């Protein structure tokens, strides 16, 4: 039940008055609300009202009953495990109820707001494009004919602040314009070898918060074989997925292009849109030679790509110093590979690539 006390005031005898002014027994109603504050969610402000010639503080705003089901879902959110979430790869068949509650609480999402926000966003896109904004035109060209579900990705990323969601879309278009080399001939096969090598890795299970966990293990990174952001001359590769012509010419892929493909692919899943990602980085054995393989301009691209999106936390795990304690506290050891002090087997990049693309 929702009550807006600008229109309806509680009275001491349980009756309501439609007057915009408080009745003489309004304080009793306020005291009654305060008495059951543990059951009723109160969103309101204190306003100073004149009552019978005296200055009295009254509470006004929106009162909403919190159902037992909603309370139970919120309680569950406090004790989630990795088993409470859906798969990482592929679309989300059905959002878990606790994830819907999280979207409601943290993103202000309801089915009605989803429809209204997408409509509002389309209106902003059209208005800004017609006003001559070049980036807005790019947004319109890129997303104008796309379904609402794609727009909702950006709306969720900005917690239903629609103007900010539009700015995020502009950032997406700007990034692709500034770094076209990252997207040229960008196909799964162009980055498959990089993902099979584990740059980055993707855990097959979500963490207890429902996030997708990416891995970057710099210890075994061959910076000459797998570049951070530098295309090499196209070479011939054996493609076992093309039986008619098993050899194809593809660019040697590099890490930033792999991230581009991974983000687009995994964000098709609604559970990932709501819960986000985190990255675990292992810098054990990081050498000056490896550092020389990363240019400042490449790091800027990395920041430009990841910052606007869904990365809630980056865990920089330097094993000789951290001794895995941060991982033990934040992650279930059963989902972590042995290279990251977990109980799982060694990370298998080929299996990940197969789940991602096949």
Q: Flag the least confident range among 25-29, 120-124, 352-356.
A: 25-29
Which residue would you say has higher pLDDT here, 316 or 148? 148
Average pLDDT over residues 193-221: 89
Give me the residue label for tokens 């966003």. Answer: 121
CATH T-level topology, domain 185-357: Phosphatidylinositol Transfer Protein Sec14p (3.40.525)
**Is 185-357 the same fold as 108-178?**
no
Q: Flag the least confident range among 171-175, 241-245, 283-287.
A: 241-245
Q: Where does the chain show beta strands of DSSP type E?
A: 2-4, 9-10, 16-17, 40-51, 54-65, 201-202, 212-217, 235-238, 247-250, 277-282, 311-317
Q: Flag the least confident range among 82-96, 111-125, 257-271, 284-298.
A: 284-298
Domain ranges of the chain: 2-66, 108-178, 185-357
Average pLDDT over residues 306-315: 50
Instruction: Give me the DSSP letters along 259-280.
Output: HHHHHHHHTTSHHHHHH-EEEE
Instruction: Give me the DSSP letters along 138-202.
Output: HHHHHHTTS-HHHHHHHHHHTTT-HHHHHHHHHHHHHHHHH-GGGTTT--HHHHHHHHHTTSSEE
pLDDT of residue 65: 79
Which residue would you say has higher pLDDT here, 269 or 7? 269
pLDDT of residue 181: 85
CATH 1.10.8.20 fits 108-178, yes or no: yes
Q: Exposed, middle or buried by CB within 10 Å (0-12, 13-18, 19+), for 325?
A: exposed
Average pLDDT over residues 106-119: 96
Candidates 80, 115, 73; CA nearest to 98 is: 73
Residue 51 has pLDDT above 60, yes or no: no
Residue 90 has pLDDT above 70, yes or no: yes
Residue 222 has pLDDT above 80, yes or no: no
């Amino acid at each position: 039940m929702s009550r807006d006390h600008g229109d309806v005031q509680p009275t001491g005898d349980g009756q309501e008055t439609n007057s915009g002014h408080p009745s003489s027994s309004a304080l009793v109603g306020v005291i009654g609300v305060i008495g059951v504050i543990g059951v009723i969610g109160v969103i309101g402000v204190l306003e100073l009202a004149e009552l019978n010639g005296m200055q009295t503080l009254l509470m006004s705003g929106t009162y909403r009953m919190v159902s037992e089901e909603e309370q139970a879902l919120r309680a569950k959110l406090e004790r989630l495990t990795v088993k409470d979430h859906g798969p990482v790869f592929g679309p989300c068949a059905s959002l878990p109820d606790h994830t819907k509650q999280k979207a409601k609480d943290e993103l202000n999402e309801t089915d009605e707001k989803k429809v209204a926000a997408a409509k509002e966003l389309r209106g902003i896109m059209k208005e800004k494009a017609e006003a001559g904004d070049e980036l807005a035109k790019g947004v319109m060209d890129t997303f104008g004919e796309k379904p609402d579900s794609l727009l909702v990705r950006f709306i969720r990323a900005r917690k239903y602040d629609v103007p900010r969601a539009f700015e995020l879309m502009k950032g997406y278009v700007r990034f692709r314009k500034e770094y076209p080399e990252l997207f040229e001939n960008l196909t799964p096969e162009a980055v498959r070898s990089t993902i099979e090598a584990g740059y980055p890795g993707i855990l097959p299970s979500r963490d207890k918060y429902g996030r997708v966990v990416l891995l970057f293990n710099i210890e075994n990174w061959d910076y000459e074989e797998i570049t951070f952001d530098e295309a090499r001359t196209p070479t011939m590769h054996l493609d076992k997925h093309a039986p008619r012509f098993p050899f194809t010419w593809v660019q040697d892929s590099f890490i930033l292009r792999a991230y581009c493909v991974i983000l687009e692919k995994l964000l098709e899943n609604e559970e990932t849109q709501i819960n986000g990602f985190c990255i675990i980085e292992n810098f054990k054995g990081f050498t000056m030679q490896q550092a020389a393989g990363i240019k400042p301009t490449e790091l800027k691209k990395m920041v430009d790509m990841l910052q606007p999106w869904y990365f809630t936390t980056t865990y920089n795990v330097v094993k000789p110093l951290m001794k895995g304690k941060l991982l033990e506290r934040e992650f279930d050891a059963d989902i972590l590979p042995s290279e990251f002090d977990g109980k799982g087997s060694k990370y298998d990049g080929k299996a990940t690539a197969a789940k991602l693309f096949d």
